[in-house]
Amino acid sequence: MAEHYSSFNRRGWRWLLQRVTAVFLIGALAFHFVLLHFVNHAAEISFMGTQARMDNIGYFLTMWLFLITATFHGVNGVYNGLINMGLSGTKRKVVAAVLVAASIALVVQGTRVAVAMSPMF
C-alpha cells in the first residue's frame, strides 16, 4: 500500500489557514454567484452597478477578503503541490520568493481596482 505523504504539517498555521480560507471561499463564492449570476444576470452587470455595490462597506470588505483569501489559498496550494512533487533546496526558495512577490502584486493591484471602483474613497 502506498504511503501517504503531504508537505502540510497538520499542526502548522498554513495547514489551518488552508482549511479556514476554503470554508470562507465556499461562502464568498456562493454569495458572488447568487448575486452576480442569479440576482443580476451577466447582461445587466454595468460599471455603475459595480460602483453601487462597492459603495456598500459590507460588500466592499467581503470582496476584498475574497481577494485576500483566494490569493493565499491558491498560492499556498500551488506551493505545497510543488513541494509534494519534490521541489527542494534553492529552487524551493526561489519559487517561494516568486509566489510571495506575485501574491503581493495581485493583492495590491486587486485592492487598487476595488478602491477605484468604490465611491467611498
Write the pLDDT tens digit of every residue in 84-116: 899 999 999 999 999 999 999 999 999 999 999
Taking the C-alpha atoms of residue 71 and residue 8, their distance in angstroms, rounded to an integer, is: 18
What domains are defined for the chain? Answer: 13-117 (1.20.1300)
**What is the reported pLDDT for 37?**
84
pTM: 0.84
Q: Which residues of the chain have pLDDT under 50?
A: none
- Looking up cell 503531504, which residue turns up? 6
Distances (CA, A) of 20 to 41, 42, 50, 101: 30, 30, 28, 23
